[in-house]
Amino acid sequence: MLFLMLICLALPAWLLGCGDYTIHVAPPSEGDDPGECSDLADNDENGLFDCDDEGCVGALECLEGPDAPGTCDDGIDNDRDQLLDCEDDGCLEAPECRQNIPPTAPELVIDPIGPTTADTLACSIVVNSHDADGDEIEYSVAWTVDGVDAGIEGFTVDSELTTRGEVWACSVTPSDGLNDGDSGTIAVTIDNYVPTEPVVAILPGYPTDRDDLECQVVVPSSDEDGDPLTYQYVWSRGTLQPDGSVSWQASGITGNVVPWVETAAYDSWLCTVVPSDGITTGPEAGAEVQVVVDGTQFVAAGRYHGCAVRQDGLVACWGVDDSSAMDSGQVTGSMQPQYGAGEVVAGEFFGCILKYDTASVHCWGHDDDQQVSGIPLGTFIQVSAGTRHVCGVRSNGRLECWGAALSWNEQPPSGIALEVASGEDFSCARMEDTSLVCWNMPTGVQPPAGTGWTQIAAGGGHACALDGAGAVSCWGDDSLGQGQSGVDALGGLAFEQLSAGQQHSCGVERGTGFAHCWGDDSFGQSSVAGGVFEQVSAGWNHTCGRRTNLVTVECWGCGSGEDRGQCSPVGLSP
């Protein structure tokens, strides 16, 4: 061996091919011992004794990787294991021999925390991975849905890809270029999408007490899950308090419409709408309106006087002031909402009104039968004045009468009433089941049977009622055609509103607004003025009507020496 080495040292390297010869300090051995690489057998005949020769296959000095000496081959077998490798002291700090430490797992978060199908999922690293070796870290992202690879490698998932109830997991794996670290993983469940808040309006926006209130969803709620939506409607009625605030009470109405019969002038109404997808209710929305008095609200005709509720809620009267029938005292407390607020009625020589602030009755004028001074305590929702008596429907629906009615043989029936009408010496009521009942009428005179009646009116000795179709039925005195014969002569017209006077009757035709009167016309009280009307009131010998402009009041029937000012309304402007 020494001889061969001397030859290589003496001769040029190109001649002997000694340049790639690997020196081993271990003696030759059997098998794959490194010594086999020193057998001087150029097996591949490339002119070199190297690791390409068959005798060197498997020799440690020919290995690659961390156990190969590589650049740390300083020729010193420090641990005397007959190998120059990474276990030698000279190789301990060599990069190819140093053991790599993988990066730590990152900490993650998915925004939003409670996602729905409307949300984009955003996975982000809140605590980065750490690499103890100081190596640069790169991250790879993978998403799964319900445990199955979603094929998404970015940090975000579009909302269109998600479905309610799915579990989406984000995994982020760090790498230092040599090894992957442990992955950080976080998961979220796609929640139900809550319906959005709708936009609500009440129509009409400036209702009178003759208008139904309709609550409309003008901008519907949306539901990204595609669930069918329903809406719950809740109505509240508001009353104005002395401090100017509104006190709300549940009305019990849950549909989207409040019938006009439930409203009264100056009431406030609140419609609350709650959307639902059948799983979750969304945020509620509401709208509010006040029932307004747009011009003259009510008109009533007595014997020689008439009265109306003005736009500001005060009472204006005109005609002859017999027994102070015109002196209403200009009832104060206007614009205070109460049930039936603004309703004025006229007897022969007196008048009454429901006060706005207390829902109590205030009367003035002739008091020979205590029709003015005998007002009972308590609250009312509607009143009607006869010749010398008054009847009212209390707030609890019970009927109560005073004045001349206290001396009658018959008194009001028990039960709940919706409306009362007072005639000369009798009264009639429309009950809770919409049937009709009268008391103190002449023997044998009875109202029509059945239910479904929508309005009632009482005059001198007769009464009339409207059914749901607008047809009129009358009973009682018909001597001058003020009853059923006069109705029949009209040819089956349908009416919206009725009023019965001393010996004539009037009504507003449905659909046209034309006024029609029948019965006594001695003073022109049945010779109707042209044009259209919102309401008419038949008195003794004259009639007054409120025009559809809700401002103008026009009266007729003051002929044959009967004109005492009752046909010339004054004081209607606030």
Q: What is the CATH number of the domain that holds 457?
A: 2.130.10.30
> Would 472 be classed as within a structural domain?
yes
> Would 443 be classed as within a structural domain?
yes
Residues 245 and 379 in one domain: no
Per-residue pLDDT tens digits for 213-260 = 999 998 999 998 889 999 999 999 987 665 667 789 999 998 999 998
In the beta sheet, which residues pair with residue 274?
Answer: 232
Written in H, E and C, the secondary structure of 124-175 is EEEECCCCCCCCCCEEEEEEEECCEECCCCCCEECHHHCCCCCEEEEEEEEE
The pair of three-digit structure tokens given for residue 245, joined into one six-digit string:
């605030």
Residues 308 and 280 in one domain: no
Using the predicted structure, report yes or no on whether residue 34 has a pLDDT greater than 70: no
Residues 374 and 499 in one domain: yes
Are the C-beta atoms of 327 and 353 separated by less than 8 Å? no
Which pLDDT band holds residue 176 (cuts at 50, 70, 90)? very high
> Would 561 be classed as within a structural domain?
no
Q: Residues 94-111: what's their mean pLDDT?
A: 85
> For residue 379, what are the domain limits?
299-556
**DSSP string covering 76-135:** --TT-SS--STTSGGGTT-TTTSPP-PPPPPEEEEESSS--TTS-EEEEEEE----TT--
Residue 209 sits in a domain whose CATH number is 2.60.40
> Would 494 be classed as within a structural domain?
yes
Which pLDDT band holds residue 8 (cuts at 50, 70, 90)? very low
Residues 310 and 386 in one domain: yes
Radius of gyration of the chain (CA): 51
The count of structural domains within the chain is 3
Tell me which range, 39-53, 129-143, 340-354, is most confidently predicted by mean pLDDT: 129-143
CA 498 to chain centre: 39
> Would 274 be classed as within a structural domain?
yes
Residues 333 and 482 in one domain: yes
Residues 186 and 231 in one domain: no
Which pLDDT band holds residue 341 (cuts at 50, 70, 90)? very low
Which pLDDT band holds residue 47 (cuts at 50, 70, 90)? low
Residue 118 sits in a domain whose CATH number is 2.60.40.10
* Structural domain ending residue among the three candidates 261, 291, 321: 291
Residues 407 and 499 in one domain: yes
Residues 181 and 210 in one domain: no
Residues 150 and 247 in one domain: no
C-alpha neighbours within 13 Å on the C-beta side of residue 547: 12
What CA–CA distances, in Å, run from 125 to 186, 280, 313? 11, 33, 69
Q: Residues 293-310: what's their mean pLDDT?
A: 78
* Structural domain ending residue among the three candidates 190, 219, 250: 190
Are the C-beta atoms of 384 and 420 separated by less than 8 Å? yes
Per-residue pLDDT tens digits for 558-571 = 876 677 788 888 77
DSSP label at residue 522: T
Cα separation, 535 vs 249, in Å, equals 30
Torsion of CA 378, 340, 467, 431, to 10 degrees: -10
* Structural domain ending residue among the three candidates 190, 222, 244: 190
> Would 567 be classed as within a structural domain?
no
The pair of three-digit structure tokens given for residue 335, joined into one six-digit string:
């614009």
Per-residue pLDDT tens digits for 137-162 = 999 999 999 999 999 999 999 999 99
Closest CA to 413 of 427, 433, 434: 427
Per-residue pLDDT tens digits for 199-210 = 999 988 768 767
Question: At 82, which amino acid appears?
Answer: Q
Q: Residues 526-554: what's their mean pLDDT?
A: 90
Residues 255 and 346 in one domain: no
> Would 100 be classed as within a structural domain?
no
Residues 243 and 307 in one domain: no
Which pLDDT band holds residue 22 (cuts at 50, 70, 90)? very low
Cα separation, 359 vs 495, in Å, equals 29
What CA–CA distances, in Å, run from 213 to 77, 216, 275, 293, 339? 102, 10, 20, 15, 16
pTM: predicted TM-score of the whole model, two decimal places: 0.53
Are the C-beta atoms of 123 and 138 separated by less than 8 Å? no
Residues 337 and 281 in one domain: no
Tell me which range, 82-86, 125-129, 202-206, 291-295, is most confidently predicted by mean pLDDT: 125-129
Per-residue pLDDT tens digits for 106-134 = 999 999 999 999 999 999 999 999 999 89
Per-residue pLDDT tens digits for 352-389 = 987 755 678 889 889 999 999 999 998 888 899 999 99
Using the predicted structure, report yes or no on whether residue 427 has a pLDDT greater than 70: yes
- Assign residue 54 a region: left if phi > 0, alpha if psi is -120 to 50, beta otherwise? alpha
> Would 69 be classed as within a structural domain?
no
